[in-house]
Structure 1
Amino acid sequence: MYPMVPGSTVTLERGKDGMVGLTIGGGAPYCPCLYVVQVFENTPAWKEGTLQAGDELVAVNGRSLKGMTKVQAAKFIQRIDGDVTFTYGKLTTDTNHFKEAKGLDMVMKKVKHKCIERMSSGTADKLGLTRAVLCNDDLAKKLEEFERNAKFYKEMIVRSHYLLLDFNAMCGVYKGMGDLFSQIAVREKFAANEAFTIFADAHRNYHRAGTEFQKKAAPIMNKLGTYLHKAVPDMRLTIKKYANAKFEYLAYCLKIKEMDDEEYTFNSLDDPLPRVEEGNYEYRVVLRCRAQARAYFLQLRSDVRVKLQLLNSKHVQDLTEQLEKWTKVLLAYYEEAAAISDKANVFPIDIDLSTVVDAQ
């Protein structure tokens, strides 16, 4: 019988693959304790939720893990039939305090990853930077598509805005031309008077039709503007938070890699690393920070997916609806303007310019 080890315990069922969902670090001959390196998603350990990255593993099914290497401990757990009961010690630390203490270091690592976002995987690996998450980030194409849609909306709204401004100016010209043709009609007699009166009324009708078009077109532009000025900025803010969370997670991945490399170098020289000999506390805190950063990153990733899907649906539905309305009001204006022009086709007529000459 192995001596029973006191402490908190948690029992995990094995998954269909026979695993509990943990990776273990530390252990003999350099570290006095074994600890959880990572809890994999959708595994028994992840679903149960008690054990977290950085927690110390004291015993398994009552047997002490003291003096075991991580390989020996892993094999021992694999040989156990049925459920596995872990005796553990929780990692107690203020991760926020640690993040503040390592703030500059983490910022620099985030900057490194931002610089390599468009690098190839091979180049990034040679520089010792984590590229996998960036390469496998299928949201990149969706985000690019979103930006193209936003650019299209902006271009359409800007051009439509200029069109409405020009229409407004043109309507003013039509009204002024109508007034001028009315003055000419007053000076002319008989057929010329009637013709210029009709032509003056036609220009006033152009003004009226153009004004009506602007009234109908404005709500369409406002609808598209709501998407551009509210939905798009909100989406960009979410994307910014997502990108920041992603780079923070990658920064912790890089920090862990640096610490692993440092430990490997010391081990290869058979020279004990002080932090490892003391229980590798700082490393375990970084593991916990990475786990928290990953969870936040995945949550924001899910939020971005949902928002992109909703915006894409809104984009397809709204754009189709608003473009249909836009073409209808344009067509209605053009048809009305053509009808007005047909009725105003009263020329050629004889014009008596004598009154104009006399006036001069």
Structure 2
Amino acid sequence: MLQEYEDDYFLEEDKMGMTVSSGTVIVKKDTTNLIGISIGGGAPLCPCLYIVQVFDGTPAAKEGTLQSGDELLGVNGSSVKGKTKVEVAKMIQAATSEVTIHYNKLHADPTQGETLDIVLKKMKHRLVERMSSSTADTLGLSRAILCNDSLVKRLQELERTESMYKGLVEHAKRMLKAHFDVLQTYQQFGNIFAAISVREPQPRASEAFRIFSELHRNLEKDGIKMIKSLKPILADMGTYLHKAIPDTKLTVKRYADAKFTYLSYCLKIKEMDDEEHSYAAIQEPLYRVETGNYEYRLILRCRQEARVKFAKLRSDVLEKIELLECKHARDLASQLRKFIQGLSTLASETVERLESIPNLFPIEVDLKASAFQYKSALKFQPEEELEEEVHQAEEAIEIPPAKSSNGGRDTIDELLAGFEEIDLNKSSAASAAESNNDLLVELGLADIDLSAGASTMGANLLEDPLIPDLGDFGK
């Protein structure tokens, strides 16, 4: 047995490139006569004793000096070398109100503990996290998940809220774009009737056309004013959708990564504990235990730091999700109310304008006799089947050109050929289209295409690159 040998039997410590520094700390006990640490190692298998875990909210955690993996050298001036962990625990309990602990601080690099085994364990946890318990049991996979993790359900609620906001914003923009198209029709009606009013010789008809054109122009102005008043509401909803929710989802992804890292270290420590117990059961020495168990202590330190990061990110995620839920419950109802009020105000103003104008129609207009005679550039000529006739060749006779009375006019027509097809209204139409595009950009509706179908709001799946494309299985 190992305990029958002297201390010289133990091998030299294998520190794996890590360094240690000595120190002393005084920890006050709590009401339960404990300082809040668990101890590992010690005789008869390990030449040193070390801290396995510092529990949250305990005197040792509040003091902050001792960490997982640190070696214990003495308690209240008494050396602990060669003692078991049970004996050291009794020494700590025997102290009165405070304990003086001499230790060797382990200076470990957390990246050194993030081995390929830890990376593969993280990948396994990501896969198993999406499975149900029955599926994981059927495949023989262990589900080392945190119990009662309410963030999973809250994240699903966040995904449904995001999908709902996407549908609301898209539907609102499409509706405002449809209103904008109708308003442009009002504007065109107003311009056309204004032009008719200017050219109408009948005074009463001219006034009726003018009032009718002003009505349509005012309807267009009221509609644009309504859309501009609703733009801040869409901007606020867009900020919630495109900034607040993605930022929270990014924090959730960082939290999930920290969670899987912590679970991987926990699983690694469990495997190393099982390895130690199996070797101890057959009374076989384990090299890493005999040389100070520095690899195990490194994983303990990595687990502690991963737990601290995991707890911090969890609190951040909970805080952000609560803020989002409060903003959603507080602002969504008021935003929809303002949106409906804007549409209601436009409808009431439209009714008032329609009721304010007199009964303009029917009206009398003076029409020319040729008003309904339309000039057509192309004349329809039915095709006739012509019989091919063979003509005899005749001698060519030179005929002098006849003098035309409107020779100058023909020359001008030849010089200006094609100019009659030029439309001087094209420039004004182009400028109007450009101004409409600028207005659409200002209103935030330039990217809305009403010819395309609206997307459905039923896609509530969590975005995860590990989820396979189900469409590939049907091929």
Q: Specify the alignment match of 1:73 in structure 2.
A: 88
Q: How big is the shift at 1:92?
A: 2.6
**1:18-97 paired onto structure 2 within 5 Å:** 18-97=33-112
Partner letter of residue 150 of structure 1? E
1:157 equivalent in alignment to 2:169: yes
Report the alpha carbon displacement of residue 119 of structure 1 after superposing the two structures with TM. Answer: 4.2
- 2:287 is aligned with 1:274: yes
User: Could you tell me which of 191, 216, 219 is aligned with 2:229?
Assistant: 216
Q: How does the TM-score come out when normalised to structure 1?
A: 0.85
Q: 1:279 and 1:178, CA in 2 relative to 1: closer, same or farther beyond 3 A?
A: same
* Matched-pair identity in %: 46
Alpha-carbon offset, residue 187 of structure 1: 5.8
With over 3 angstroms needed to count, the CA separation of the structure-2 counterparts of 1:183 and 1:8, relative to structure 1, is: closer
Counterpart-to-counterpart distance in 1, 2:86 and 2:201: 109
Q: Are the counterparts in 2 of residues 31 and 280 from structure 1 also a CA contact under 8 Å? A: yes
Which structure dedicates a bigger proportion of its chain to helix?
A: 1
Cα distance in structure 2, aligned partners of 1:56 and 1:74: 14
Task: Note the aligned Cα RMSD (angstroms).
Answer: 2.8
> 3-state DSSP class of the match of 1:204?
helix
For residue 259 of structure 2, what is the aligned residue in structure 1? Answer: 246
1:78 maps to a residue whose letter is: Q
Question: Which piece of structure 1 moves more, 223-232 or 114-123?
Answer: 114-123
* CA distances 1:304-345 after superposition (whole Å, capped 9, x unpaired): 222223333333333344333222211111111222333458
Counterpart residue number, 1:4: none
Moved over 6 A (4+): 121-126, 350-354
Separation of aligned partners in 2, 1:15 and 1:124: 43
Larger radius of gyration: 2
Q: Is the 1:181–1:196 Cα contact (8 Å) retained in structure 2? A: yes
Change (3 A) 1:211 1:122: closer
How far is 1:47 from its partner? 0.6
Structure 1 counterpart SS, 2:51: strand
* Cα distance change on mapping 1:53 and 1:92 into 2, 3 Å: same
Q: Are the aligned partners of 1:188 and 1:351 in contact in 2 as well (CA < 8 Å)?
A: no
What is the TM-score with the length of structure 2 in the denominator?
A: 0.66
Q: Mark the CA change 1:124 to 1:81 in structure 2 (over 3 Å): closer, same or farther.
A: farther
- Which digits, 9 at most, give the CA deviation of each residue in 1:141-168, with x for residues without a partner? 3333333333322222222221222222
CA contact (8 A) 1:124 1:130 kept: no
Change (3 A) 1:121 1:83: farther
What SS does the aligned partner of 1:91 have? strand
Which residues of structure 2 form unaligned runs of 5+?
1-21, 375-475
Structure 1 distance, partners of 2:64, 2:245, is 37
Deviation at 1:55, TM superposition (A): 0.6
Deviation at 1:256, TM superposition (A): 1.1
Distance 1:221 1:16, change over 3 A: same
Select the residue among 155, 174, 178 that pairs with 1:143: 155
Does residue 325 (structure 1) correspond to residue 344 (structure 2)? The answer is no
